[in-house]
């Protein structure tokens, strides 16, 4: 075997090694991506669960229940508390939609399960009022989703009420 044949065999072995290395790296990147997506999903669902857990506090639960039906009659402090509770759910859902769009969270899961909850929440006049007052603070993605899935929510106003909390009577 001459030097040219050895060089050709070396190039072949080197080429196979490069291809094997690239396949191995692709597999590792895929595994890493799956793990990262799982962490993002876990983070999003934990954030939602934390917002739901806030309702277990007696004061928050009472305000939440009253605010759902009688938002405009709530005293300013209670209206602010209710608004923050609602905004927590909307913010978490907005984050989940953000993860769903590029496929980090399986398509349809967020808008299906959590979307049904948001849709049901939006049947309450208090949620509708908060959305109209605070909706422009959320992403265009959430505003589009609300237009498509929650006609009861209505369109958000230009300026939210959070700016005025504590300044009106």
pLDDT for residue 147 is more than 60 = yes
**For the segment 19-54, what is each residue's pLDDT rounded down to a tens digit?**
888 888 888 887 777 777 778 778 777 888 888 888
pLDDT at 50: 84
Number of Cβ atoms within 10 Å of the Cβ of 141: 13
Structure confidence by residue, pLDDT tens digits, 74-90: 998 899 999 999 999 99
Q: Write phi, then psi, for 140 (nearest 5 degrees).
A: -55, -30
Gap between the Cα atoms of 153 and 146, Å rounded:
7
């Amino acid at each position: 075997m001459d030097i040219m044949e050895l060089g050709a065999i070396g190039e072949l072995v080197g080429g196979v090694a490069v291809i094997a290395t690239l396949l191995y790296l692709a597999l590792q990147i895929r595994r890493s991506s799956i793990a990262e997506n799982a962490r993002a999903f876990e983070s999003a669902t934990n954030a939602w669960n934390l917002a739901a857990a806030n309702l277990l506090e007696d004061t928050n639960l009472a305000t939440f229940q009253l605010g759902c039906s009688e938002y405009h009659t709530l005293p300013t402090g209670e209206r602010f508390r209710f608004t923050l509770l609602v905004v927590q759910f909307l913010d978490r859902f907005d984050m989940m939609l953000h993860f769903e769009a590029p496929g980090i969270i399986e398509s349809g899961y967020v808008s299906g399960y959590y979307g049904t909850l948001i849709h049901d929440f939006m049947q309450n006049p208090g949620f509708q009022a908060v959305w109209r007052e605070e909706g422009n603070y959320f992403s265009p993605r959430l505003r589009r989703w609300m237009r498509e899935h929650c006609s009861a929510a209505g369109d958000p106003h230009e300026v939210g009420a959070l700016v005025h909390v504590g300044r009106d009577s």
